[in-house]
Structure 1
Amino acid sequence: MTVFINLIVSVAVIVILQLAGMLVFSLMTPFNDLEELKKGNMAVGLAFGGKFLSTALIIGVAAYTNSSIWYMMLWFLVGYFILVASYWIFELVTPGLKISEHLQKGNVAIGALLCFVFIGTSFAVSSLIV
């Protein structure tokens, strides 16, 4: 019975962390991600999908490598902070490029690049989680 309760609690925490992570990412853009997705904005879809997958990768590795829910949450927060920082660093190293404007205009190249920045960062960060 204890294993079942631990599983339910772990899954609930993972879902809550994933949703909270996506909410913070949505607040970082000056436009409404869901409205852009409803319009069929492929660039936003790619960037949003990259955010979702990268967040899930970090949660998955944190859950797999930690037997304590508290350590899992801690490592997720560390990894998530690095993901958010990677977005802002990407903005800084591309001064002639306003990422959010290009995403809102539907620039698929920027959406794809940002998607892979997030996924690549999450793979690199996941190797640090112990």
Structure 2
Amino acid sequence: MSAFWENAFVASAARYSVVILCMILFLAIFELVTSYKNWQEIKQGNFAVAMATGGKVFGIANVFRFSIQHNDTILESVSWGAFGFLLLLIGYFIFEFLTPTYKIDEEIGNDNRAVGFLSMVLSIGLSFIIGASII
């Protein structure tokens, strides 16, 4: 049975499946902390929400990319990926805190594309910093 799990195709499929499940969970958590409903807003054409959500998807995937690259087991990869997600989430709250003159969530919910773009770039940028720190 160990030969089965050591097969490169099986290992890749296992990591892929676990990351997809983690991404669904992490996006659901992001959905809980935002004042708008991501998928409903995207369905209605809110481009700012689409950019912000796309940045979160890219950020999570990029953190997992580094996590998989630097760890041997799925458990280690998931642990570092979850830690990276937590740091992305903290970064989101810091972004909200550093803009006291307006609420990020409200601006994105109102389709302020400049704020949505900045949120996307912030998620992507932080994912590279977080990923580079994964050992």
TM tier, shorter chain?
over 0.9
Q: Does 2:67 align with 1:68?
A: no
CA-based RMSD of the aligned residues comes to 1.1
Counterpart of 1:117 in structure 2 is 122
Amino acid at match of 1:112: F
Shift of 1:92: 0.8
- C-alpha distance in 2, partners of 1:7/1:45? 29
Number of aligned residues = 130
Which of 35, 43, 50 lines up with 2:40 in the alignment? 35
Superposed, which structure 2 residues align to 1:89-100 within 5 Å? 89-100=94-105
**TM-score, normalised on structure 2?**
0.91
Amino acid at match of 1:85: I
Percentage of identical aligned residues: 30
Q: Extract structure 1 runs of 4+ deviating beyond 3 A.
A: none
Could you give the per-residue CA deviations for residues 64-113 of structure 1, whole angstroms, max 9, x where no partner exists?
11111111011111111100000000111111110111111110000000
Which of 98, 107, 113 lines up with 2:112 in the alignment? 107
Which of 14, 25, 31 lines up with 1:9 in the alignment? 14
Amino acid at match of 1:104: G
Shift of 1:19: 1.1
